[in-house]
Amino acid sequence: MSSTEITPPSRWTRIAKSGMVHSFRRNPVAVGSMLVFLCIAMAAVFAPVIAPFDPYDPINMDIMNSEFPPVWIDGSDPQFVFGTDDQGRDLWSTILYGTRLSLLIGLCAVALQAFLGISIGLIAGYIGGRTDSLLMRLADIQLSFSTLMVAIIFLAVTQAMFGSETFNQYAVYFLIAVIGVAEWPQYARTVRATVLAEKKKEYIDSARVLGFGPVRIMVRHILPNSLSPIFVISTVQVANAIISEASLSFLGLGMPPSQPSLGSLISSGFDYIFSGSWWITAIPGIVLVVLVLVINLLGDWMRDVLNPKLYKG
């Protein structure tokens, strides 16, 4: 007797054939955004390879080279495509490394938020009762204080306590930690809502009757069903994390000018817009806006696709 069992399609095949990919390909905004994002991301990942200069190497910080404009303006130096900043660093290289930092911090912070938030959301929703009330009350309070405020205070205090040097050394970690920890309520609330809805369904009862422990039920049964809202908010969260990091660095509470992210670049260039060297602020600014914009556009598209009840007619 030949085996006539049908192997269920793998998860990848299912995703590829799903309506989501189909709808993606038809939407020029989504495709365009994805392309731009991949370009930026690739450029950031391969920065050490692409960048003509290493902006961290003091050799490249020659004050004689400072404030050269981009190549399309008079008085430029052709080896510096986008000009140089106030310290003589090549702006193009610095932007590449800066984007790298911004993306790194954004993605890691969101990974941390997601991990914390999803765990807390699962627990709160599944256990319910007092634990749930307490956790959600904490979430409300945390939310009302806004990530940026908490981050500013935490980083300000940390910087004052440890001194600039130590702080700058560990700045990346501090930023990831504070943005990561401060935003857990977003994920927690979203996941909790799904858990509450799924908890009532029969397959959960079946799983319990079969003797599966709560952790297994939460992770292997409920979690996969809450993936679509998690995806939707993740894009917004990455965009927000990048903006938060840029804002913090702009205030001098984030990445230092020696290891600049896009935010600190913009900050260091701010004073120079009055004296005419607008490119130090403008070009990193444009890169930042484009990066966040395409992430937001992708997020919008995802929300439209995964949330059919909102008919846009």
How many of the other CB atoms lie within 10 Å of CB of 133? 11
In the complex with another protein, which residue's Cβ is closer, 121 or 269?
269
Determine, following the binding rule CB under 8 A, whether residue 228 of this chain makes contact with another protein.
no
Determine, following the binding rule CB under 8 A, whether residue 28 of this chain makes contact with another protein.
no
How far apart CA 36 and CA 295 sit, in angstroms, is 10
Q: Give φ, ψ of 303 to 5 degrees.
A: -65, -40
Task: Compute the radius of gyration of the chain from its Cα atoms.
Answer: 23
In the complex with another protein, which residue's Cβ is closer, 39 or 289?
289
Determine, following the binding rule CB under 8 A, whether residue 278 of this chain makes contact with another protein.
yes
Helix residue ranges per DSSP H, 251-278: 262-270
Quick one: which segment of 45-53, 66-74, 170-178, 280-288 binds another protein (CB under 8 A)? Answer: 280-288
In the complex with another protein, which residue's Cβ is closer, 200 or 309?
309
Residue of 232, 204, 206 lying closest to 219 (CA atoms): 204
In the complex with another protein, which residue's Cβ is closer, 229 or 252?
252
84: three-class secondary structure by DSSP: strand
Determine, following the binding rule CB under 8 A, whether residue 117 of this chain makes contact with another protein.
no
Annotate 52-72 with three-state secondary structure: CCCCCCHHHCCHHHCCCCCCC
Residue type, 257: P
In the complex with another protein, which residue's Cβ is closer, 58 or 313?
313
Determine, following the binding rule CB under 8 A, whether residue 297 of this chain makes contact with another protein.
yes
How far apart CA 159 and CA 163 sit, in angstroms, is 5
HSE-up of 163 (CA within 13 Å, CB side)? 2
Nearest distance in Å: CB 130, another protein: 15
Determine, following the binding rule CB under 8 A, whether residue 266 of this chain makes contact with another protein.
yes
Quick one: which segment of 1-9, 39-47, 110-118, 293-301 binds another protein (CB under 8 A)? Answer: 293-301
Return all residues near 211 (Cβ < 8 A) that are at least 6 apart: none
Determine, following the binding rule CB under 8 A, whether residue 281 of this chain makes contact with another protein.
yes
Quick one: which segment of 46-54, 128-136, 227-235, 249-257 binds another protein (CB under 8 A)? Answer: 249-257
Q: Which of 123, 176, 191, 239 binds another protein (CB under 8 A)?
A: 239
In the complex with another protein, which residue's Cβ is closer, 54 or 304?
304
Determine, following the binding rule CB under 8 A, whether residue 73 of this chain makes contact with another protein.
no
Nearest distance in Å: CB 247, another protein: 5
Determine, following the binding rule CB under 8 A, whether residue 39 of this chain makes contact with another protein.
no
How far apart CA 20 and CA 28 sit, in angstroms, is 14
Residues that bind another protein (rule: CB under 8 A) add up to a total of 45
Contact pattern for another protein over residues 144 through 183, marking x by CB under 8 A: xxxxxx--xx--xx-xxx----------------------
CA distances from 163 to 84, 146, 168, 271 (A): 29, 25, 9, 25
Contact between 250 and 264 under an 8 Å Cβ cutoff? The reply is: yes
How far apart CA 10 and CA 268 sit, in angstroms, is 51
How far apart CA 250 and CA 135 sit, in angstroms, is 33
Which residues are at the interface with another protein (CB under 8 A)?
137, 141, 143-149, 152-153, 156-157, 159-161, 239, 243, 246-247, 250-253, 263, 266, 270, 273-274, 278, 281-282, 285, 288-289, 292-293, 296-297, 300, 309-313
